[in-house]
Amino acid sequence: MFLRNRLINVIFKDMLHRCFLTTIVCLLMILQPHFLFAQSRFSVVISEIMSDPSPQIGLPNAEWIEIRNTTSVAINLQNWRVGDGSGVSGTLPNFLLQPDSIAIICGTTAATTMQQYGRTFAVTSFPSLDNAGEVIFIRNNTGAIVHAVDYNLSWFNNAVKSDGGWTLEMVDTKNPCAGGNNWKASIDARGGTPGIKNSVDGNNNDQQPPALLRAFATGSTVVLNFDEPLDSLSAATAANYSLSNGGGTAIAAVCIAPLFNTVQLTFTNTLQANTVYTVTATNVRDCSGNSIAAFNTTKTGLSTAVAANDIVINEILFNPTANGTDYVELYNRSTKLINLKTVLIANRSSAGAIANMKAITTQDQLLFPGEYLVLSEDDATIKRQFTAKNLSAFINIASMPSYSDDEGTVVLTDNGGLVIDEVHYKDAWHFALISNNEGVALERIDPNAASQNKDNWHSAAKDVGYGTPSYQNSQFRLDVQVQGEITVTPEVFSPDNDGTDDLLTISYRFSETGYVMNITVFDAAGRPVKALQRNAICSQQGSFRWDGLNDKFQKLPLGPYVVFTEIFNLQGKVKRFKNQIVLARRF
C-alpha cells in the first residue's frame, strides 16, 4: 500500500511537471511571434522630426525626434540607438514602449526642456540633424535598422515653415514606406506636437507601386535606386533583375540598409564601355506589398571622365519671385555617360576666384547624352511654378552657391578643379522689352555655341511660363552654319609632273549630306585665278583636286594662294572656309 501511494505521488508530480513545461512552451509559442514582430522593420517608426528649431515658434530651441510603437505589443527599447550618416548615439535605457505610445529622443542638454511634453529619453551623441535634410534611423539592440527617414526641405511644401521653427510630421504611421508623400509640415500653432498625436495625423494608404529611378554600373556590378523602401525578400531575389545587350539575369542581389531602397546586383559578365544597357526589375514589391509595374526599367552603363564643354550650363534662374528659388539647368552635349558624383557647381568671388564649390551629389548617378539636369535647393517649388516635363531630372543641393539678381558667375568643375563650363551672366542679357524679369529664366540658345557670348542667351518665352527646367529651351536654336571641316594636303605642292606632290587635294567632311560646294583659288593679291568647282553636289565626305593651272590652263607663278570654299544647302545653312597653300616648282 505504501509503495503504491508513493508510485502514485511520483506519477502525479511528473504529470504536473510535464503540464508546467507544456504551459511554458505554449506560452513561448504564443509570445515568440510577437517578440519577433517587435524586432522587425517598422515596429517602431520615427513619427516627427525637429531638425531646425530656430526661429522659435512655440517649442524649445532644441533638436529632437519622436518615435511611435506601431504594434499591439510592448517593445523594450533597451540598447536601441539613433543614427545618421556620421554615426550613432548612445543607447536607450531599459524601457517598455507600450502599443501605440510615443516617446521623444533628444540630446542630453535638451532633455530638461523636452520632458514637459511627455516621455523623453536623452542619449549621448544625439545626431546633429541637418536643417536641409539627411538620412536618420533607429536600430534595435541587435543592430538591425527598424526605420529610416531621408527627409528634405521639399517635404514641408511651405517656404516659411521650411525656414525653421516647425517640425515635419508623419501623416500615417501605418504607412512608413511612402517617403515625402506621407510627411507634412506641422499645423499645430506651437510648431510641432512632441509627445502627442501628430496634427496632420490621418489615413494615407500606400497604393503606389515602387518605381526604379536610376542605376549605376562598375565592372559587373549594377546598383539600382528605387523611389521608396522595398520588401527585402523580393528585392534580394536575383532572378527578379535582368540586363539588356547580353547582360543576362543577375546572379546575386543585396538590398542595402538603412533605407532599403537600393539594390546591388552582380552579373556574370563585365559591362562593355560606350554601351548603354537597360536594367529591368520584375516581381519587386515595396514594404506595403505593391508590386513594381510600369516604371520598372532604367538605363545604365560605364561612366567616362568628364572633359571641358561635355556638360554646358543651359538655363539660369538667378532672379526668382519672392516665393521662388534659384535654379541652374545643365545639358550633356557629349556622347559620354558622365558620373555626376565627379561634378561640382560653384560661383566666383569678388576677386575672381572660384568659390562656394558644392558637390552635385554624393551618390553615383549618371547623366546620359542629351539629358538635362536641374539643380536647386527646392525642386518642389520649381515644379509648382514651372512645367517640369521630366520629374526625375532634378537634384536638390542643401546650399546652392549664391547668384546675384543683377550679374554673377555660374561655374561647373570636376572634382579635380577642371572648369567644365562657365557663364558670367548679366541682367542686361534679358530681352529688353521685358519690364520685370523677376521669375524669368535666361536660356541658352545653342548648346554648341560659346557659353560667354551674350547673343547666345535669351529670356525664356512667356508661353512656357518663362522657364523650361528639365526639357529643351523655348529659345533653342542650333547654329545655322554647317558642322564640318575642309582640309588641304599638301600645304606646299609642286605641280611639275615629277611624281611628287603634283596635285593639291581638297577634302571635306560634314555631319550630313545635301550640300552644294563652290571652290575658288585666289592669289596673294586677292584676285580669283581658278574657279575649281561651281555648284558641285557633295556627299557627306569626299575630295576634289587641283593641278595648279588657272582658268586658261596656264601655269601660275610660284607663291602663296588661298583656297576659298563655300558650302550651302536648301535649308539656308552656309559656311565658308579659307585654307592657305604655297605653290612651288622644281623645274
CATH of the domain at 345: 2.60.40.1260
275: its cell numbers:
554601351
**3-class secondary structure, 49:** strand
Q: Which helix (H) or strand (E) holds 84?
A: strand 81-84
**3-class secondary structure, 546:** strand
**Is there a single domain that holds both residue 60 and residue 180?**
yes
Task: Please report the pLDDT score of residue 11 as a whole number.
Answer: 46
Q: Give the separation between CA 64 and CA 121, rounded to whole angstroms.
A: 10
**Is there a single domain that holds both residue 440 and residue 320?**
yes
Task: Tell me how crowded residue 456 is: count the other CB atoms within 10 A of its CB.
Answer: 20
**Is there a single domain that holds both residue 295 and residue 164?**
no
Task: Please report the pLDDT score of residue 414 as a whole number.
Answer: 96
Domain that holds residue 170: 44-185
Q: Give the separation between CA 169 and CA 412, rounded to whole angstroms.
A: 36
- Burial class from Cβ neighbours inside 10 Å (0-12, 13-18, 19+) for residue 15 reads exposed
Task: Tell me how crowded residue 198 is: count the other CB atoms within 10 A of its CB.
Answer: 26
Calculate the alpha carbon distances from 345 to 305, 331, 341, 396, 414 in Å.
Answer: 17, 13, 11, 12, 9
Q: Is residue 7 part of a domain?
A: no
**Is there a single domain that holds both residue 342 and residue 439?**
yes
Task: Tell me how crowded residue 352 is: count the other CB atoms within 10 A of its CB.
Answer: 8
Q: Which residues of the chain have pLDDT under 70?
A: 1-39, 478-482, 571, 586-587
Q: Is residue 35 part of a domain?
A: no
Q: How many domains does the chain have?
A: 4
Q: Is residue 17 part of a domain?
A: no
Q: Is residue 33 part of a domain?
A: no
Contact, 382 vs 376, CB < 8 A? Answer: yes
Cβ partners under 8 Å of residue 76, min gap 6? 94, 95, 96, 97
Q: Give the separation between CA 551 and CA 249, rounded to whole angstroms.
A: 69
**Is there a single domain that holds both residue 56 and residue 76?**
yes
**Is there a single domain that holds both residue 491 and residue 415?**
no
Task: Please report the pLDDT score of residue 47 as a whole number.
Answer: 98
**Is there a single domain that holds both residue 351 and residue 419?**
yes
**Is there a single domain that holds both residue 322 and residue 460?**
yes
Contact, 299 vs 276, CB < 8 A? Answer: yes
Contact, 551 vs 521, CB < 8 A? Answer: no
Q: Is residue 30 part of a domain?
A: no
Q: Show which of 409, 434, 464 is a domain's final residue.
A: 464
Q: Which amino acid is at 500?
A: T
Q: Is residue 120 part of a domain?
A: yes
**Is there a single domain that holds both residue 269 and residue 359?**
no
**Is there a single domain that holds both residue 387 and residue 490?**
no
CATH of the domain at 564: 2.60.40.4070
Contact, 374 vs 329, CB < 8 A? Answer: yes
Cβ partners under 8 Å of residue 271, min gap 6? 217, 219, 220, 222, 243, 247, 277, 300, 301, 302
**Is there a single domain that holds both residue 173 and residue 259?**
no
Q: Which residue has the cell 552654319?
A: 481
Q: Give the separation between CA 209 and CA 87, rounded to whole angstroms.
A: 32
**Is there a single domain that holds both residue 83 and residue 143?**
yes
Contact, 482 vs 575, CB < 8 A? Answer: yes
Calculate the alpha carbon distances from 528 to 556, 558, 566, 574, 577 in Å.
Answer: 12, 15, 14, 21, 15
Q: Show which of 255, 277, 300 is a domain's final residue.
A: 300
Task: Please report the pLDDT score of residue 151 as a whole number.
Answer: 94
Q: What is the largest CA-CA distance in the chain?
A: 149
Query: Among 275, 274, 256, which residue's Cα sits nearest to residue 265?
Result: 256
Q: Give the separation between CA 76 and CA 142, rounded to whole angstroms.
A: 12
Residues in the chain: 587
Cα 138 from chain centroid (whole Å) = 26
Task: Tell me how crowded residue 2 is: count the other CB atoms within 10 A of its CB.
Answer: 6
68: its cell numbers:
511611435
CATH of the domain at 284: 2.60.40.1220
Q: Which DSSP category does 342 fall into?
A: G
Burial 510-522 (b: 16+ CB within 10 A, else e): beeeebebbbbbb
Q: Give the separation between CA 285 and CA 262, rounded to whole angstroms.
A: 13
How far is the first Cα of the chain from the last one, in angstroms, to the nearest whole number?
148
**3-class secondary structure, 61:** coil
Q: Give the separation between CA 301 and CA 272, rounded to whole angstroms.
A: 8
Q: Is residue 190 part of a domain?
A: no
Sign of the CA dihedral 373, 376, 378, 384? Answer: negative
Q: Is residue 11 part of a domain?
A: no
